[in-house]
Structure 1
Amino acid sequence: MPKIFLTGATGYIGGAVLTRLLERPFDITILVRSAAKASLFNETFGKKHSLKAVVGSYSDLKLLRELAGEADVVFACADADDLAAAKAILSGMRDKYSETGVAPTLIHTSGTGVLGDDADGMHASPSIYSDMNIEQLETLSPDQPHRNVDLVLVEADSQGYVKTYIILPSTIYGFASGPLVESGLQNWRSQQIPRLVDVSLQRGQGGMVGKGKNWWGNVHIDDVAELYLAILDLLSKASPPPDFAHGRAGFYFAENGEHTLYSVGEAISKVLSGMGKGSSTPTTFSDKEVRLYFPGGTSLGSNSRCRAERGYKVGWRPSRKTQDMLSSVRGEVDASLSR
């Protein structure tokens, strides 16, 4: 029975992946910050699904190394920018390789924020990245978000002691579901669209950065989770598709359509105006609102355009499209209001 170690089990992505792993005959170890949640995981899913929850965080580098060193496959679904944690996981996988002579697998969560520019919502970008065009990806600056960690993983793969597969989700939407959500163990909402909804409710009007002319890809949470499982299933294939790559070429975008920020702001505005709040046309966030609502910066105003060609070539088949994303806005508004 393959041994799996997963981080981010209580998160939006990690929980969706774990929900699917629990349906398979795996020996699963997860890292959970809360002792109470770890106990609930063990009591609810431990014996039935061969799952063990260990209390710890990405700050516990020695523990990360130990748990990664015991696994055949590691799913890293927590902080995409924690370089120290990524190196600790890789150290454990190097230990595993030294003991067995077989390179273990790391399936790491990055994000298409690595493609972001400084458009501030004022213009579209003609640059569309393909995960089949490695030379194009290698033009990205090491200073781009997530890129420093991604490059360390690629270098580790080149040394032969680990096989790395890097998944880069775009704007994820939809409500996660399943036994982890029902047990109160998993975050069931995304970040980008709910954040825009919350801000729009506070200001009483749908909004956008600049003119909202920037473009992002989008993908449903269930389709994202299926990409992780598609990669996992291909690991055991005697003859996987020729484009099933790892390391330097092992980048997998997760998208199934793209949208402008204006279109999201408009969808929110239409829902709110139907409730008697503001007009059906989004307005630009003022400088004061940007400072108040987005203290970490307005990356939502950037362009992040990509095509998930590699995933399609290896058998991933996402089913939801941009219209599904726009239609999901009403549910997000209802969810925010019900809190």
Structure 2
Amino acid sequence: MQVFVTGATGWIGSAIVDRLLEAGHKVTGLARSDASAALLEAKGAQVRRGDLDDLDSLRAGATDADAVVHLANKHDFANPAVSNRAERGAVQAIGDALAGSHRPFVLASALAFLAPGRLATEQDRSPFHGIDSLRGGSENLALELVAQGVNTVVARFAPTVHGEGDHGFVAALVATARAKGASAYLGDGTTRWAAVHRGDAGRLVRLALDQRVPAGTVLHATAETGIPTRDLAEAIGRGLGLPVVSVPADQAGEHFGWLSKFCGADMAATSDATRALLDWAPSGPTLFEDLDSGCYYR
């Protein structure tokens, strides 16, 4: 299978590319820089130059592929409207290219703000619609493409996709703890984050493509359903040898910066339906095992 992957050199994307190549698939990765192109070529993948604003390149990549995995995102936390609009435009462009073909389209989505206060399941539907909503409402847009003959599969990734080299939320918490001289959690620290190891996340997407799961399927890439943010702060404090403190809600922005809205969000989720459908059994290290290994402090 020829698979077109956006975000192919990113944290999750590079793991997915590795799993696809190991399984014998051919991969074309979207690359916006010479460095990204070189990384893909070194793995044996093909390169299509472009970015999320180059809709012609996205359409061409999708047209030439047997399947598409869309992971790229601008992640502009200072100006989220830029990210939201780019995401929606990219999904629409890919959908236009795949319409009527019934080819697989795996869309990377998120669990943030999906089901506050309870465990989210694959049956929950995203509350975000329209270009001005979170991620441009791309999950619902992609699912609407099913009616146009696109085999959309939504893969919702845990907020913490962890492992050696992680530069996401946990790495940001570690950097904040170093800068502030204390590892902190917000309020009483009872909000929870689901977690999955990067290798397990990559294998999930490969299984979804290999098994040609039905159009409209929602998958959850979660190995641990919900880790209290206080426990996470305590693990980071141990690793850095720093005190652990609670930050009141009215000081969240000052202490955590762009992370503050996520620190106060309950982002817990099950993956029971996903495991049963794909026969997917996460086997990588837990988040605390990765933290205790020291890889986040080197």
For 2:111 and 2:9, locate their aligned partners in 1 and report how far apart those are by CA, in whole Å: 22
Equivalent position SS for 2:112: helix
Is 1:152 equivalent to 2:141 in the alignment? yes
Are 2:59 and 1:71 equivalent residues in the alignment?
no
Q: Which residue of 1 aligns with 2:267?
A: 304
Q: Who is 1:211 aligned against?
A: 188
Q: Secondary structure at the match of 2:258?
A: coil
Conserved 8 A contact 1:114-1:147: no
Deviation at 1:52, TM superposition (A): 1.4
Matching of residues 6-25 of structure 1 within 5 Å: 6-25=5-24
> Secondary structure of the residue that 1:253 maps to in structure 2?
strand
Secondary structure of the corresponding residue to residue 329 of structure 1: helix
Asked whether the 8 Å contact 2:159–2:267 carries over to 1, the reply is no
Please name the residue that 2:239 is paired with.
271
Is 2:208 the partner of 1:221?
no
Equivalent residue number for residue 262 of structure 1 = 230
Q: Judge conservation of contact 1:172–1:221 (CA < 8 Å) in 2.
A: no
Structure 1 residue 291 displacement after superposition: 3.1
The answer to whether 1:283 aligns with 2:271 is no
User: SS where residue 134 of structure 2 aligns?
Assistant: coil
Q: What is the deviation of 1:107?
A: 0.8
**Which residue is 2:79 aligned to?**
none
- Judged with a 3 Å threshold, the aligned counterparts in structure 2 of structure 1 residues 326 and 193 are, in CA distance, closer, same or farther, namely same
Give the TM-score of the pair, scaled to structure 2: 0.86
Letter in 1 for 2:68: V
SS at the partner of 2:28?
Answer: strand
Structure 1: runs of 5+ lacking an equivalent: 118-124, 177-187, 236-243
Deviation at 1:327, TM superposition (A): 2.9
Is 1:59 the counterpart of 2:65? The answer is no
What is the aligned partner in structure 1 of residue 127 from structure 2? 140
1:295 CA displacement:
3.4
How far apart, CA to CA, are the structure 1 residues paired with 2:55 and 2:171? 32
- Residue 225 of structure 1 and its aligned partner are, at CA, apart by 0.8
Larger Rg over CA atoms: 1
Matches within 5 A, 1:1-339: 2-42=1-41, 44-46=42-44, 51-79=45-73, 81=84, 82-94=87-99, 97=100, 102-115=101-114, 117=116, 125=117, 127-131=118-122, 133=123, 137-138=124-125, 140-142=127-129, 145-146=134-135, 148-159=137-148, 161-175=149-163, 188-235=165-212, 244-247=213-216, 250-257=217-224, 258-273=226-241, 277=242, 279=243, 281-284=244-247, 287=250, 290-291=253-254, 293-295=256-258, 297-314=260-277, 315-320=279-284, 324-331=286-293, 335-336=296-297, 338=298
My pick for the range that moved more, 189-198 or 21-30, is 21-30
For the residues of structure 2 that align with 1:264 and 1:211, how far apart are their CA atoms?
13
CA separation in 2, counterparts of 1:226 and 1:246?
Answer: 19
Alpha carbons of 1:296 and 1:128: their partners in 2 closer, same or farther (altered >3 Å)? closer
> Bigger shift: 10-19 or 71-80?
71-80
> Number of matched residues?
283
Distance 1:191 1:45 in 2: 23
CA distance in 1, matches of 2:139, 2:126: 14
| In structure 1, distance between residues paired with 2:174 and 2:103 | 41
Distance in 1, matches of 2:266 and 2:249, equals 20
Cα deviation, residue 22, structure 1: 1.7
Shift in Å, 1:255: 1.1
1:167 and 1:251 in contact (8 A); partners too: yes
Q: Deviations over 1:160-187 (max 9, x none)?
A: x2101100011334335xxxxxxxxxxx
Deviations 1:43-72, CA, capped at 9 Å, x for gaps: x244xxxx2112210010111111111111
> Contact 1:76–1:108 at 8 Å: present in 2 too?
yes
Calculate the TM-score normalised by the size of structure 1. Answer: 0.76
Could you tell me whether the CA contact under 8 Å between 1:61 and 1:88 is conserved in 2? yes
Answer whether contact 2:29 2:40 (CA < 8 A) is retained.
Answer: no
2: CA distance, partners of 1:59 / 1:291? 33
SS at match of 1:298: helix
